[in-house]
Amino acid sequence: MTARRVPVVMIHGAFCGAWAFADWAPIFENQGFAVHVPDLRFHDCGKHPPRALGTTSLTDYADDLEKLLKTIGEPAFLIGHSMGGLLAQMLAARGKVRGIACLAPSAPYGILPSTPFEIASAQALYMAGEFWNKPLKPERWIAMTNALDRLDEAAREKVFARFVPESGLATFEIMQWALDPRRASSVDATRVDCPVLCLAGKRDRVNPPATVRGVAKRYRAKGSFEEIPGHSHWLIGEPGWEKIAGRVLEFFADAAAETRTAS
């Protein structure tokens, strides 16, 4: 009899696509997981997505992912990078999941920035005008210096070449949450009843360790935080990413054991 494969859903971050987890998926499949790596809405449209991307909300992304989870038919583990880490938290508050691993996650509504860089980055968005209702193109210098900075030059170029536009509205909902009347990025921590692992690279400027630590604290006993020396924001592909994937596998094994003990 073939053993049942536990589902895991990998959720990519802003300006990316399912390709971002191309190296992770085989590792988890080889460990017996049924791996699902969806593209977020309009992120499979290349460099020229429909204008509707610009007004796509975090809640739209979460709705799409919730539909996927329902088709899977049983509680899944979730892995989310950056914006995907926030979406994983939103999904955990909506329904039953086995555990979530948040890699350099964007913070939910109410988590204050911990660095001047985060505040400056949020204010700099207004240089794009009414950015909240149009697709935002990836900025090369921002990606190279703040997201892909731990990669060598050739790897940075290869990854950035695959970046795609992102929703201006979703970006607003993350980075200007205090001005969002819908509170789209809200997560009711009391409804998250699974283990939550939050990982942050020590050198990450986008979602720095102090902010990610605050995310983990939101989940009290369910949340745990780990700072990873030598790493920045691209935890899914920086040199040494294999150890990070291994840590997530350990976390999932511990979460599964905890569930068996509880039952």
35 DSSP β-pair partners = 8
Edge-first strand listing for the sheet containing 77-81: 33-36, 6-11, 77-81, 99-103, 196-201, 223-228
Which pLDDT band holds residue 3 (cuts at 50, 70, 90)? low
Which tokens is 185 given?
């990025």
How much is the pLDDT for 53?
A: 98
- pLDDT recorded at residue 1: 36
CATH number at residue 171: 3.40.50.1820
Residue 1 lies in a domain: no
Listed residue (68, 1, 3, 72) closest to 31, CA to CA = 3
Q: What is the mean pLDDT of residues 245-251?
A: 98
Quote the mean pLDDT of the chain.
Answer: 95
At a CB cut-off of 8 Å and minimum separation 6, what does 232 contact?
146, 147, 149, 150, 201, 203, 204, 205, 238
Q: Give the residue numbers spanning the domain of 225.
A: 6-262
Q: Taking the complete model, does pTM exceed 0.85, yes or no?
A: yes
Please state the rounded mean pLDDT for residues 160-168.
98
Instruction: Tell whether 192 is covered by a domain.
Output: yes
Contact 201, 232 (CB under 8 A): yes
Instruction: Taking the CA atoms of 139, 143, 146 and 149 in sequence, report the sign of the dihedral they define.
Output: negative
**Residue 37 belongs to a domain:** yes
CB 194 within 8 A of CB 258: no
Residue indicated by tokens 């789209």: 184
Q: State residue 263's pLDDT score.
A: 52
Q: Evaluate whether residue 84 is within a structural domain.
A: yes
Q: What is the pLDDT of residue 259?
A: 65
Phi-psi region of 58 (alpha: psi -120 to 50; beta: other; left: phi over 0): alpha
* Contact of 138 with 168, CB cutoff 8 Å: no
Number of domains, the chain? 1
Tens-place pLDDT, residues 41-97: 999 999 999 999 999 999 999 999 999 999 999 999 999 999 999 999 999 999 999
- Return the number of other C-beta atoms located less than 10 Å from residue 50's C-beta: 10
Cα–Cα separations (whole angstroms), residue 81 to 71, 116, 169, 218, 235: 22, 22, 19, 18, 8
With respect to residue 154, please indicate whether it lies within any of the assigned structural domains. yes
Domain contains 56? yes
In a domain, 60, yes or no: yes
